[in-house]
A and B are shown apart, each in its own frame.
Chain A
Amino acid sequence: MKCLSIEQIYLYIEKELSEAENKKIEEHLTTCPKCQRALEERNLLLQAAESLPLWQPPPDFTQQVMAKIFPTRVPISAWIKAISAGFASIILALFIFLLASGQNLSGLLISFNQTLWNFIKNFALLFVKIFKLATLLIKVIQQFFGFLINGFTSLTAIISPQVQIIIIAISIIVILTLIYGIKRKLFIGERT
């Protein structure tokens, strides 16, 4: 048998060959130091490769992946628990305050009720006033625009179209001049 190919050597090491092929190779190896050397060398290489240190995942790796796949939602029961705990803390704090200050509970509750009632009353009055003011403002704006539209309609009925164009042109010029003037004044104001 002629010398082994390198590929044959690897397949022999990895036990990828048939029994008959293995036997032939083993027979050849007993008589060929060159192939023996090559086999030892490749064997060493594969042994070292197969015993390379393994990369270790962090201890919480599985939890991290699971948290990404199944993001946890806070259940309603947890919200109820949190709110209950909040209320319980307030009541406890109130109880401690009463004990420390020496006040009685009914007196404190009455004064708290009065303060709350005054707040609600004042807030309701303020709300009514704001509502009245807003209604009035809307009415005024409505009347102003009605007047403007009426005036404009009667004017267009009296004045000829040519004069209307002249009036519109003059109005635009006046408006633009005003805007320019305001802007300039503002800029001057900014610079100084």
Chain B
Amino acid sequence: MDEDKKLIEKTIKGEKEAFEMIIRKYQQPILNYIGRMVGERELAIDFTQDVFIRTYSSLHLYQPQYKFSTWLFKIASNFMIDYWRKKKIETFSLDQPPKWDSSNPPLQIPENKSSTIKKLEISQLREKIERALEKIPAPLREVFLWRHINEFSYEEIAEIKNLPVGTIKNRVFQAKEMIRSLLEEKE
């Protein structure tokens, strides 16, 4: 049994310290996800706290056959969906494809196009990526963050979102190319 599952078992048995260890382990990954989703530090801290509270109150629903980290991020993702719904921001819909789904990036490398990315310093590039992240649709930003900031595998992201791995790979690809094209735009 992995470390997380042991800690969950101990928490359910009433050992508060075990849940404290869970918070210490996951506070930064969750804050980094939520922080870049909402863009405001104070709000992100409040939401991260709420995610842990929600997690604690639903521990009895946790099924040990799933990885705890993916289950935790599923709770965080549902929390963000609730937030987007309240703010009336475009969210996932299983019935209707989202608007950005129809605007797929080119699949082939364009001919002789000079890129500005290589001309930028790494710090400038990071700054531009942060700004571009704010501009891309929230559902794409979410999967991009999980893949490249939280370092989840495509399979884990598919488990979090309950979607096929192919769909997730395509969304992460779209996110990356959308960011890349935003980096190419002149300010």
B162 on interface, CB distance cutoff 8 Å: no
CB-contacts of B167-187 with A (<8 A): 169, 173, 176-177, 179-180, 183
B91 on interface, CB distance cutoff 8 Å: no
Interface residues of A, count at CB 8 A: 39
B135 on interface, CB distance cutoff 8 Å: no
Known contacts being A49-B129, A54-B32, A55-B28, is A34 close to B111, with CB within 8 Å?
yes
Known contacts being A4-B109, A45-B179, A62-B23, is A52 close to B117, with CB within 8 Å?
no
B164 on interface, CB distance cutoff 8 Å: no
Find out whether the CB atom of B28 lies under 8 angstroms from the CB atom of A57: yes
* Mask: chain B, 7-47; 1 = CB below 8 Å from A; 0 = not: 00000000010011001100110011001100001001100
Find out whether the CB atom of A55 lies under 8 angstroms from the CB atom of B44: yes
Find out whether the CB atom of A57 lies under 8 angstroms from the CB atom of B126: no
Chain A residues contacting B49 (CB-CB under 8 Å) are: 61, 64-65, 68
Find out whether the CB atom of B28 lies under 8 angstroms from the CB atom of A56: yes
Complex-state Cα separation, A3 to B125, whole angstroms: 27
Query: Nearest chain-B residue to A5 (Cβ)?
Result: B107
Contact of B176 among A10, A56, A68 (CB under 8 A): A10
Find out whether the CB atom of B122 lies under 8 angstroms from the CB atom of A51: yes
B106 on interface, CB distance cutoff 8 Å: yes
A50 on interface, CB distance cutoff 8 Å: yes
Contact of B117 among A45, A51, A57, A58 (CB under 8 A): A45
Chain B residues contacting A11 (CB-CB under 8 Å) are: 169
* Mask: chain A, 23-67; 1 = CB below 8 Å from B; 0 = not: 000000000001101101110111111111111111001101110
B77 on interface, CB distance cutoff 8 Å: no
| Top 7 A-B pairs, shortest CB-CB distance | A48-B125, A55-B35, A38-B109, A57-B27, A49-B148, A62-B23, A65-B52
Chain A interface (Cβ < 8 Å from any Cβ of B): 3-7, 9-11, 16, 34-35, 37-38, 40-42, 44-58, 61-62, 64-66, 68-70
